[in-house]
Amino acid sequence: MVVYSFLEPGLYGGVEWNFYHWSYGRILGWADGEWEDFDPVYIEIFLRSVRLAATNVLITLLICYPAALWVSSLPARVRTFVVFMNDPAPGLGGTEAEVIRADMVFFETPSGGAVFSTGSIAWAGSLSHASYDNDVARITTNVLRRFLEETPFQTSD
């Protein structure tokens, strides 16, 4: 993260591998090498990000690591039960419970690109289910094939 924060922003997102310290300049009021009026919103955003990151690290160190150490020290039979009880809805998938779902988003951009996103942490793990003969694998295959085509996406303006 620290390395990326010093890289030049790319034209269409991402980064260019060039040293670029001006991102931090906005915090101090001198972005792009030109002096500009100091806007406290940039320092507020930066400090809020640091505070959230520190809180996340603290919670992980104080709660998650000790809990994982405790679970790993349990006998195998008990450990399996404890891990199973951590599942919010054991045995329920999207067809059994409407509250368990994954959201998908696909949209085309005005410049001829497109975005595909899934809101499920289990998406990648579901690809190989039934030897890749499942809806998740089919959707992923279709999307990747379309993204590999050279034909630009058409927007419906």
The span from the CA of 48 to the CA of 42, in Å, is 10
Measured in degrees and rounded to the nearest 5, phi and psi for residue 108 equal -95, 145
Q: Specify whether 93 is located in the same domain as 119.
A: yes
Choosing from 34, 61, 85, the residue where a domain stops is 85
The span from the CA of 92 to the CA of 95, in Å, is 8
- pLDDT, position 157: 57
Longest dimension (CA), the chain: 64
Q: Containing domain of residue 54, as a range?
A: 2-85
Choosing from 54, 85, 116, the residue where a domain stops is 85
Q: In sequence order, which ranges of 65-114 are alpha helices (DSSP H)?
A: 65-72, 76-85
E strand residue ranges, 20-139: 104-108, 114-118
Q: Specify whether 107 is located in the same domain as 145.
A: yes
Burial class from Cβ neighbours inside 10 Å (0-12, 13-18, 19+) for residue 62 reads exposed
Q: Specify whether 8 is located in the same domain as 79.
A: yes
Q: Model-level pTM?
A: 0.41
- Tell me how long the chain is: 157
Q: Specify whether 107 is located in the same domain as 46.
A: no
Q: Specify whether 10 is located in the same domain as 52.
A: yes
Residue with tokens 């405790």: 70
pLDDT by residue (tens digit) across 69-118?
888 888 888 877 777 666 555 565 555 566 666 678 888 888 888 899 98
- pLDDT, position 96: 56
- pLDDT, position 70: 87
Q: How many domains does the chain have?
A: 2
pLDDT by residue (tens digit) across 13-49?
788 888 887 777 777 777 665 666 667 887 888 899 9
- Residue that wins the pLDDT comparison between 94 and 135: 135
SS3 11: strand
Choosing from 57, 85, 113, the residue where a domain stops is 85
